[in-house]
């Protein structure tokens, strides 16, 4: 324990007021409600981050118009799923996704 260097704390010579300030917005503020998709990005990330997903994963996708697609999923962007055939599927259009 003798080999450890000494600790020199910094001297604080001013008042710290973290989290003491509050901001109030106007009462007429308009809130925009986003359409939250049934399938979250976490659900898709669980599939893509699975140990079995090396390059592609076969998934069954049910869209909001009740059509079903089976694709080899390789990646995703912010708004789209990308298949091995370069097909892009909008994430907001997906109601259900599951691995096969």
The predicted pLDDT at position 89 comes to 93
Task: Please say whether the beta carbons of 59 and 73 come within 8 A.
Answer: yes
The predicted pLDDT at position 70 comes to 94
The predicted pLDDT at position 68 comes to 93
Which residues lie below 8 Å from residue 40, measured CB to CB, with a gap of 6+?
none
Domains, the chain: 41-99 (2.30.30.100)
* Own/partner pairs, 41-44, CB within 8 angstroms, 24+ separation: 41/76, 41/91, 43/97, 44/76, 44/81, 44/91, 44/97
Q: Give the residues of the chain that fall short of pLDDT 70.
A: 1, 17-38
Q: 79 is written with which tokens?
A: 């708004």
Residue with structure tokens 């118009």? 65
């Amino acid at each position: 324990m003798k080999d450890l260097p000494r600790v020199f704390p910094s001297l604080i010579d001013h008042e710290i007021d973290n989290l003491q300030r509050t901001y109030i917005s106007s009462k007429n503020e308009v809130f925009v409600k986003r359409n939250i998709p049934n399938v979250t990005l976490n659900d898709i990330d669980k599939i893509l981050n699975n140990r079995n997903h090396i390059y592609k994963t076969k998934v069954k996708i049910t869209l909001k118009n009740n059509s079903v697609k089976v694709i080899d999923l390789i990646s995703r962007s912010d708004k789209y799923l990308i298949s091995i055939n370069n097909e892009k599927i909008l994430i907001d259009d997906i109601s259900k996704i599951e691995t096969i």
